């Protein structure tokens, strides 16, 4: 039984590349391009390491992000797959996964199309085996393992649904296990959002997923999806229920002799009970009810949300843990009872012993004396002890929420430590002293990413920076002035600091960062940064090599004049700012890279000035500027240029061919959207 869209993969890397079961030498349309030869620098920041997977749809390469030394994967489509639907699916996957930040979802970091027309996507590198591979080898999985896997899957999909993204192709080959034994927190990843539905997307993307189109995998496809009806998050719930059933019982709930028969079974037949399908295996109370609710034929009868699925799985996990504890206690009691019985027999057999009789009489006398003394002593009135009420895990009390965040931080640290990484990433966490203490104790940690987190207090920042953190990315997190000033006060070891989208931080707080004189990279994109603050930063951070100022409307031509004050070799991101041709005339030859995307006021005149003033440029990104093919030829003549990213080019085919030939001859990587 094969899927509609993709075949099952043998491993996670082949799954990413669309492996279709062909030996490598039979995949004739796979082409190794010069861009992805090991040792090349792709986009000026991704060093190509090796090819790790290839198949009928494309190729996947392992690379390293040179600025942060992080392993990533680059997924490409080959020329034989470049039809409109394949490209649109590729785009949809990038947009869907790129909008999500969750430790159990493979993140997409970059997306585009090379000048030669090859779409590429930069994503997390995920070593491991798919759940399909594990099931094929082991059959049924242990109950504890299954609950751990699906608690993480449901949490990840709940996050996706909250962002308006529905996966629509949940199946074992789209779930990767980073470890097969003792599935701990953060040990799974969900892949392939290629046919995801994005509720806020454009009409063009919706065309791929319009009502009446049937896409997905028949073994796990919901009744409404199989006939092309409108879908929502409950469609993913049904598919996840089918995968859960397979993991518990060793086979999918429905499997006909053909695709059509399988789809009809989903429409008309009720699945066997878990006990029947697993040949008599026992399951905890509530699990059968959950599976039935997830796999209800009618959308209206199905469990209402993936968040609720996650809550019930958490309850079942707690029940399993409690039952194990109770069984252990019961076994201990049985042992004690046995000892007591044996002791009683011995006592009875020696009751006639004279010494034993004397000992018993002595004990009785002492007991009576103690009782009399206690009665003569004044007694305090004692209150009856009230039993503790059990907390229902479904109610989000502050205590339960804190415990959840504790687990999230612990999970991230455990995973990173287990793989020998010096970097960990945590998203959407409300911090407290407990989590700050965990991070402070991780002395091995050098790189820390906290995405969209809150309650990052000054004291918490101090604890985090008391260790060996050199790289701190707080993108999208809630910070106040005091927290930023704490970074400036305690961040002497920092070499990278990311504060992009961190809200309304005052000019005074931003100026305090100038104390970090050894800073190498600073990202202040999307902050209310004025030229007054920029001047303090540039003058104070004399060792700065990279500065991010994207999406700041206050950054304009006068800002370029301030940037020119910096004496060291460096580069900066001025994408989507107010910079025009006038500002570029202030830049000098110490600039080795510059991003100018989304600045339509930059024309041929400004680029020609940039070529003249900055002859040592290695990387130039300029999509969205108003430039002609003639100025592109001038850029290609720059002696040190390695990567050139341009926008949609208004040129005839002959000109395009000539541009590619010159770029290839000069070993310049040229890209376009």
325 CB neighbour count, 10 Å cutoff: 10
**Cα separation, 451 vs 429, whole angstroms:** 8
Specify whether the backbone of 51 is left (phi greater than 0), alpha (psi in -120 to 50) or beta. Answer: beta
Q: Report the Cα–Cα distance between both ends of the chain, in Å, rounded.
A: 38
Q: What is the pLDDT of residue 1?
A: 39
Query: Is 420 in the same domain as 309?
Result: no
Radius of gyration of the chain (CA): 32
CB 474 within 8 A of CB 499: yes
Q: Are 295 and 252 in contact (CB under 8 A)?
A: no
- Whether residues 422 and 564 share a domain: the answer is yes
Residue 366 domain-assigned?
no
Quote the pLDDT of residue 353: 47
Question: What residue ranges in 500-558 does DSSP mark as E strands?
Answer: 521-523, 546-548
Residue where a domain stops, chosen among 317, 344, 373: 317
Q: Where do runs of H (alpha helix) occur along 430-530?
A: 433-441, 458-464, 481-490, 507-512
Nearest in space to 8 (alpha carbons), one of 196, 165, 175: 175
Structure confidence by residue, pLDDT tens digits, 268-318: 999 999 999 888 888 887 899 999 999 999 999 999 999 999 999 988 988
262, 291, 317 — which closes off a domain?
A: 317
Q: What pLDDT does 404 receive?
A: 66
Coil, strand or helix: which one is 670? strand
388 is a domain residue: no
Is residue 648 a part of any domain in this protein?
no
Instruction: Quote the tokens at residue 107.
Output: 């993140």
Q: Given pLDDT bands bounded at 50, 70 and 90, which one contains residue 79? A: low
308 plus 455 within the same structural domain: no
Q: From the candidates 3, 169, 523, 643, give the one annotated as an active-site residue.
A: 169
Do 502 and 613 belong together in one domain?
yes
pLDDT digits (tens, 9 = 90+) for 359-374: 545 555 555 454 444 4
Give the β-pairing of 119-124 and 108-114.
antiparallel
Sequence-separated (6 or more) residues with CB below 8 Å from residue 116:
33, 35, 660
Give the pair of three-digit tokens for residue 541: 């951070």
pLDDT band at 395 (very low <50, low <70, confident <90, very high): very low
Average pLDDT over the chain reads 79
More confident residue, 445 or 95: 445
Q: Name the DSSP class of 92.
A: H
Q: How many CB atoms lie within 10 A of CB 612?
A: 12
The tokens for 86 are 């394949």
Rounded Cα distance between 574 and 552, Å, is 8
The CA distance from 594 to 601, in Å, is 16
The listed range with the strongest mean pLDDT (8-12, 20-24, 163-167, 459-463) is 459-463
Question: 443, 418 in Cβ contact below 8 A?
Answer: no
Tell me 36's DSSP state: G
Contact between residue 115 and residue 109 where contact means Cβ atoms under 8 Å apart? no
Q: Is 169 a catalytic residue?
A: yes
Question: What are 137-187's pLDDT values in tens digits?
Answer: 776 678 888 998 999 999 999 988 988 888 888 999 889 988 655 566 667
List the CATH number of the domain containing 566: 3.80.10.10
CATH code, 32: 1.10.510.10
Both structure tokens of 170: 């949940």
Q: What is the pLDDT of residue 604?
A: 93
> According to the model, what pLDDT value does residue 378 have?
44
Give the model confidence (pLDDT) of 222-243 as tens digits: 998 888 788 889 999 999 999 9
In the DSSP assignment, the letter for residue 578 is S
Domain identity same for 268 and 410: no
Does 183 lie in the same domain as 59? yes
Phi/psi for 176 (5° steps) reads -105, 135
Cα-to-chain-centroid distance, residue 458: 27
CB atoms within 10 A of CB 339: 10
Residues 409, 265, single domain; the answer is no
The pLDDT of residue 108? 79
Pair 132, 18 in one domain: yes
At which of 317, 339, 373 does a domain end? Answer: 317
416: in domain = yes
Same domain, residue pair 149 and 16 = yes
Is 376's pLDDT higher than 70?
Answer: no
Angle at alpha carbon of residue 61, lines to 60 and 67, rounded to 5°: 135
Q: Highest mean pLDDT range out of 175-179, 589-593, 665-669? A: 589-593
What are the phi and psi torsion angles at 14 (to 5°)?
A: -70, -35
- Residues with Cβ within 8 Å of 423's Cβ and at least 6 positions away in sequence, in order, are 68, 70, 416, 445, 446, 447, 448, 449, 471
Three-state SS string across 404-458, please? HHHHHHHHHHHHHHHCCCCEEEEECCECCHHHHHHHHHCCCCCEEEEECCECCCH
Same domain flag for 442 and 301: no
- Residue 68 backbone phi and psi in degrees, to 5: -125, 5
Q: Same structural domain for residues 411 and 536?
A: yes
**Token pair recorded at residue 374:** 């206690």
Least confident range from 49-58, 409-418, 458-467: namely: 49-58
> 476-490: per-residue pLDDT in tens?
899 999 999 999 999
Binned at pLDDT 50, 70 and 90, residue 569 comes out as very high
Which residue range forms the structural domain that includes residue 58?
12-317
Q: 603: which strand partners?
A: 626
Of 15, 14, 63, give the one whose Cα is nearest residue 37. Answer: 63
Q: 3-state DSSP helix/strand/coil percent for the chain, to nearest 5?
A: 45, 15, 40
CB 421 within 8 A of CB 446: no
Structure-token pair, residue 379: 């007694």
Residue 78: how many CB atoms within 10 A of its CB?
A: 23
109 assigned to some structural domain:
yes
- pLDDT given at position 400: 44
- Total domains in the fold of the chain: 2
**Does 670 map to a domain?**
no
Residue with tokens 């996670």: 12
Of the candidates 492, 446, 489, which has an alpha carbon nearest to the alpha carbon of residue 471?
Answer: 446
pLDDT at 133 > cutoff 60: yes
Lowest average pLDDT, out of 4-18, 114-128, 588-602, goes to 4-18
Whether residue 337 lies inside any domain: the answer is no
pLDDT at 195 over 60: no
Give the model confidence (pLDDT) of 104-118 as tens digits. Answer: 888 777 877 777 777
Residue 553 has pLDDT above 50, yes or no: yes
Token look-up 């987190």 returns 453
Question: Is residue 291 situated within a structural domain?
Answer: yes
């Amino acid at each position: 039984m094969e899927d509609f869209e993709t075949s099952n993969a043998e491993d996670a890397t082949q799954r990413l590349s669309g492996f279709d079961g062909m030996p490598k030498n039979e995949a004739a349309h796979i082409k190794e391009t010069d861009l992805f030869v090991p040792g090349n620098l792709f986009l000026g920041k991704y060093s190509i390491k090796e090819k790790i997977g290839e198949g009928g749809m494309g190729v996947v390469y392992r690379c390293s992000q040179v600025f942060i030394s992080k392993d990533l994967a680059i997924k490409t489509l080959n020329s034989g797959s470049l039809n409109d639907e394949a490209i649109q699916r590729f785009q949809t996957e990038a947009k869907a996964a790129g909008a999500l930040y969750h430790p159990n979802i493979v993140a997409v970091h970059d997306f585009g199309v090379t000048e030669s027309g090859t779409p590429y996507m930069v994503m997390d590198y995920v070593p491991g085996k798919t759940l399909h591979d594990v099931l094929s080898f082991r059959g049924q999985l242990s109950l504890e393992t299954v609950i751990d896997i699906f608690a993480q899957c449901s949490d990840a999909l709940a996050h996706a649904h909250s962002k308006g993204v529905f996966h629509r192709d949940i199946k074992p080959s789209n779930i990767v296990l980073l470890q097969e034994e003792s599935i701990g927190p953060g040990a799974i990843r969900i892949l392939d959002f290629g046919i995801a539905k994005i509720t806020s997307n454009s009409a063009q993307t919706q065309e791929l997923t319009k009502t009446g189109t049937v896409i997905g995998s028949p073994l796990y496809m919901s009744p409404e999806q199989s006939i092309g009806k409108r879908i929502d998050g409950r469609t993913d719930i049904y598919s996840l229920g089918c995968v859960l059933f397979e993991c518990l019982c060793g086979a999918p709930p429905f499997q006909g002799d053909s695709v059509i028969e399988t789809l009809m079974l989903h429409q008309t037949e009720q699945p066997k009970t878990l006990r029947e399908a697993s040949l008599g295996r026992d399951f905890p109370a509530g699990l059968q009810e959950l599976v039935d609710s997830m796999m209800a034929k009618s959308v209206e009868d199905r469990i209402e949300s993936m968040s609720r699925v996650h809550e019930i799985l958490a309850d079942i996990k707690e029940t399993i843990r409690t039952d194990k504890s109770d069984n252990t206690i019961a076994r201990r009691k049985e042992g004690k009872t046995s000892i007591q019985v044996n002791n009683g027999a011995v006592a009875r057999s020696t009751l006639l012993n004279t010494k034993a009789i004397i000992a018993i009489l002595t004990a009785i006398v002492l007991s009576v004396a103690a009782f009399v003394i206690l009665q003569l002593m004044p007694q305090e009135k004692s209150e009856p002890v009230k039993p503790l009420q059990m907390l229902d895990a479904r109610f989000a009390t502050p205590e339960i929420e804190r415990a959840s965040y504790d687990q999230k931080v612990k999970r991230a640290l455990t995973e990173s430590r287990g793989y020998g990484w010096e970097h960990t990433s945590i998203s959407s966490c409300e911090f407290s002293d407990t989590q700050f203490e965990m991070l402070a104790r991780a002395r091995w940690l050098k790189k820390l990413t906290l995405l969209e987190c809150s309650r990052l207090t000054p004291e918490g920042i101090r604890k985090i920076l008391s260790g060996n953190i050199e790289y701190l990315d707080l993108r999208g997190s809630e910070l106040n002035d005091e927290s930023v000033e704490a970074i400036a006060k305690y961040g002497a070891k920092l070499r990278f600091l990311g504060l992009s989208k961190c809200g309304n931080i005052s000019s005074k707080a931003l100026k305090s960062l100038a104390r970090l004189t050894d800073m190498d990279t600073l990202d202040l994109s999307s902050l209310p940064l004025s030229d007054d603050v920029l001047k303090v930063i540039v003058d104070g951070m004399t060792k700065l090599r990279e500065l991010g100022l994207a999406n700041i409307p206050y950054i304009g031509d006068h800002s370029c004049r301030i940037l020119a004050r910096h004496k060291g070799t460096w580069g900066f991101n001025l994408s989507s700012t107010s910079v025009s041709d006038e500002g570029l005339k202030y830049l000098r030859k110490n600039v080795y890279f510059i991003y100018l995307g989304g600045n339509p006021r930059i024309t041929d005149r400004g680029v020609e000035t940039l070529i003249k003033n900055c002859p040592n440029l290695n990387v130039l990104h300029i999509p969205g500027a108003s430039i002609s093919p003639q100025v592109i030829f001038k850029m290609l003549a720059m002696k040190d240029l390695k990567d050139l990213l341009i926008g949609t080019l208004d040129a005839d085919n002959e000109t395009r061919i000539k541009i590619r030939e010159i770029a290839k001859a000069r070993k310049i990587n040229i890209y376009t959207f």
